[in-house]
Structure 1
């Protein structure tokens, strides 16, 4: 049961954030709340040391402080800031957090460049009515960074301590 939560909750929330940001340019608060609550309950049950548990929360709080500052100056959306902090909670202060931040930055930059080109192309007029592409085609809206944040989370998640714990349990069982 515990392994199933580890295998399902985080990836589902990342996929939901990607689709939600594509369709509505929002990432619901419930995504970040589910990530936070699930981690808070599941991590201690895996035998994670309390000090490590605390460091995971420190990672989430640190990322939230930085992203809240970026939100305050208009540098990022509130949903993006909360999603990054909740994702950092699952990564902890680890190499995986750095990998996540680098992947999110690279994917976010690539997404921005691709959307700027796409929005100026005739293709955007042709595909702009599609439910999944309408915000990509609209020059008046921002960039749905939840797409990059979710994709980066999915890329790094398999190497996180919780996922490695779950995989080792399955291999042993």
Structure 2
């Protein structure tokens, strides 16, 4: 059961956040809350020691303080800031967190360039009424960065400590 939570909750939340941001330009608070609550309950049951557990929360706090500052400056959406912090909680201070942030930056940059090109093309006029593309086509809106965060989270998640623990448990059976 614990392994199922590890394999399902985080990926589902990443996909939900990406699709939600694509469709509504928002990431619901419940996505971040589910990620935080699930980690808070699951991590100790995986045998994670309390010091490491605390460092995971410290990583999330640091990421939240930086992203909240970016939100206050208008450089980032609030949902994106909270999702980044909740994702950092699962990764802790690790190479996975650095890779997640770098991947999200690269994917977000590519998404931004593609949207600039798309929004300036006649294709945006033709497809602008499509429910999945309407926010992509609207040049008055920002970039649905939750898409990049979701993709990056899915890329890095298999190498996180909870997934590695769950895989080890399943292979030991």
TM-score by length of 1: 0.99
> Any runs of at least 4 consecutive aligned residues in structure 1 with deviations exceeding 4 A, and if so which?
none
Deviations 1:44-78 (A, max 9, x none): 00000100000000000000000000000000000
Q: Secondary structure at the match of 1:27?
A: coil
CA distance in 2, matches of 1:110, 1:50: 38
CA distance in 1, matches of 2:133, 2:116: 13
Deviations 1:110-133 (A, max 9, x none): 000000000000110111111110
Following TM superposition, by how much is the alpha carbon of 1:157 offset from its aligned partner in structure 2, in angstroms? 0.2
Q: Indicate the residue corresponding to 1:56 in structure 2.
A: 56
Q: Indicate the residue corresponding to 2:12 in structure 1.
A: 12
Q: Indicate the residue corresponding to 2:112 in structure 1.
A: 112
Q: Indicate the residue corresponding to 1:3 in structure 2.
A: 3
Q: Indicate the residue corresponding to 2:27 in structure 1.
A: 27
* 1:167 and 2:167 aligned: yes
CA distance in 2, matches of 1:142, 1:95: 30
Q: Secondary structure at the match of 1:143?
A: coil
TM-score by length of 2: 0.99
Aligned length: 173
Following TM superposition, by how much is the alpha carbon of 1:84 offset from its aligned partner in structure 2, in angstroms? 0.1
CA distance in 2, matches of 1:170, 1:26: 36
Deviations 1:60-110 (A, max 9, x none): 000000000000000000000000000000000000000000000000000
Q: Secondary structure at the match of 1:107?
A: helix
Unaligned runs of 5+ in 1: none
Q: How large is the RMSD of aligned CA atoms in angstroms?
A: 0.4
CA distance in 2, matches of 1:169, 1:141: 45
Unaligned runs of 5+ in 2: none
Q: Secondary structure at the match of 1:76?
A: coil
